[in-house]
Amino acid sequence: MADWIPDVLGDEFEQLTLELEADDEGPVVATLVRALPVPQGWWGRMLGRTRPLDDVDVLYVHGWSDYFFQKRLARFWTARGARFFALDLRKYGRSLRDGQTPGYITDLAAYDEDIAAALDAMGRGADGAASGRRLVLLGHSTGGLTLSLWASRHPDAADALILNSPWLEFQWASARPILAPVAELQARWAPREVAPQVDLGFYTRAQQEVADPDDPVEVDLRWRPAQTMAVHAGWFHAILAGHNRVAAGLGIRAPVCVLLSAKSATPSRWSEELTRADSVLVVDDIARAALKLGASVTVERIDGALHDVFLSRREAREDAYQRLDRWVSGWNAAR
């Protein structure tokens, strides 16, 4: 295995390249980023003090056309004693190599290899179970869908699942049963056919409009372009297949927390409303779909939040962190 090296985020962040099985485009890797809690001082150790999440590992997975860059989110966990890890999946962000189709995959279950490699590098074994430490899965958008499906296929591996605006349902939910068989045929015969670009860049603009100089975020537009990456037929079919499985019920045994904006807005033209709403998903449909994840699901609706609730304007962002803290504190106390 390669060595941990300094990450592009600087500060306390390091990265590790995970070698995966090659595909028809050549060698494939994933990249694991980590931030570890600052060791307690001698006084705290002498008094036997522990931080509330000293026995917790967090694994974060990003969304579509995205990568990990949220320093504050990592520090939320490490300040409480947890070890934080973030996975740039194959063909995304740090893991994208020359000649590869960005984000392309034809089955979300293929990410099992990426996740297994990450868990193994975290010292948990490939299935995540070879550790006495608790495992929290944290996913945004498509990453939330990917981790939900993984948790369903690996019962009892995770102790909690936290989802930030997870893409659990197609934007036109009623059309999914009609589109799914068409998408399957298209994926079979022309998997790399590209759909027309419908992203006008308004979601990126909304984030820029609400940017907070007191809580700065730096984004590499090579890895998170202003407009989303090209959508291929094979990838689109994989997403719809994932939505179908969620609709059938996943039976996740771990408690689930879903963080969502209070409302959606259609990004057909620019307006101030786009800075206070989710312009990517239909959040009411996501809230309903979330109830299919398992028996214990908490849905938190955050007024004024964007699609990534932790990149929203100050008031909504602070609300999101407070709700996350409240849920995690309750989960931790209940053990």
Show the DSSP H helices in the chain as ranges: 42-46, 71-78, 111-121, 142-153, 176-189, 202-209, 233-248, 283-290, 314-333
pLDDT given at position 41:
63
Residue extents of the structural domains in the chain: 5-333
Task: Please report the pLDDT score of residue 129 as a whole number.
Answer: 74
Whether 335 has a pLDDT exceeding 90, the answer reads no
**Whether pLDDT at 1 is above 70:** no
Model confidence over 123-174: pLDDT tens digits? 998 877 778 899 999 999 999 999 999 999 999 999 999 999 999 999 877 7
CA distance 165 to 308: 7
Please state which CATH number belongs to domain 5-333.
3.40.50.1820
Coil/strand/helix, residue 139: strand
Share of the chain above pLDDT 90, in %: 85
Burial 269-307 (b: 16+ CB within 10 A, else e): eeeeebbbbbbbbbbebbbebbebbbeebbbbebebbbb
pTM: 0.95
List CB contacts of 304: < 8 A, sequence separation 6 or more. Answer: 261, 262, 276, 277, 312, 313, 315, 316, 319
Give pLDDT tens digits for 27-53: 999 999 999 999 866 555 555 568 999
